[in-house]
Amino acid sequence: MNVREVRWGDFDDLREMYYRLYDERDRGELIGITLFGERPSLADEVEWFSRTYRRVLAGDAVVSVAELEGHAVGNCAVQREAPNASSESGHIGVLGILVDAPHRGKGVGSALLRHALDGCRGKFEVVKLSVFSNNERAQRLYGRFGFVRNGHHPREVRRGATYYDEEEMVLLLDEASTAAEKG
């Protein structure tokens, strides 16, 4: 597996991987990512990818891709919370990660997170994320990288008649660097 920065040619793999999440949800599988009510259109996905790719080029986002046999099998994106770095919250990045179902639990998430956080150093001071409260495996992964719980959001996501709480987690990059140097 190779982990690298996102490329324009990753669009189809990333879109297909994202669309498969809707199939997982529709089968009743517990997925830890908040989705729209309906699968976005191809045009919506082109707009999302174009906007995200522009943010990467502008230095306002870091997007790492895990590639296996020439295809993306996961991605980790950290996007600036504010419109630009000079905004008062321009030092904060918001993280999202996705690993395709057949590749979960095999170290892909760890590799993506390591690569993305390395790319965040010098761009962001704080990285935050939200994770479903019942997604203990993801919370342990984030904890290994130095993320700590910073808040609890009850009933943050509603899927049909079921509600899911979310935990907010935060990583102070300068403290994470110091801890890594000591350890």
Quick: pLDDT tens for 103-156: 999 999 999 999 999 999 999 999 999 999 999 999 999 999 999 999 999 999
Half-sphere exposure of 147 (CA within 13 A, CB side): 25
Q: Which domains does the chain have, with CATH numbers?
A: 2-182 (3.40.630.30)
- Interval 95-110: pLDDT, tens: 999 999 999 999 999 9
Q: Closest Cα partner for 120 from 95, 87, 149, 146?
A: 95
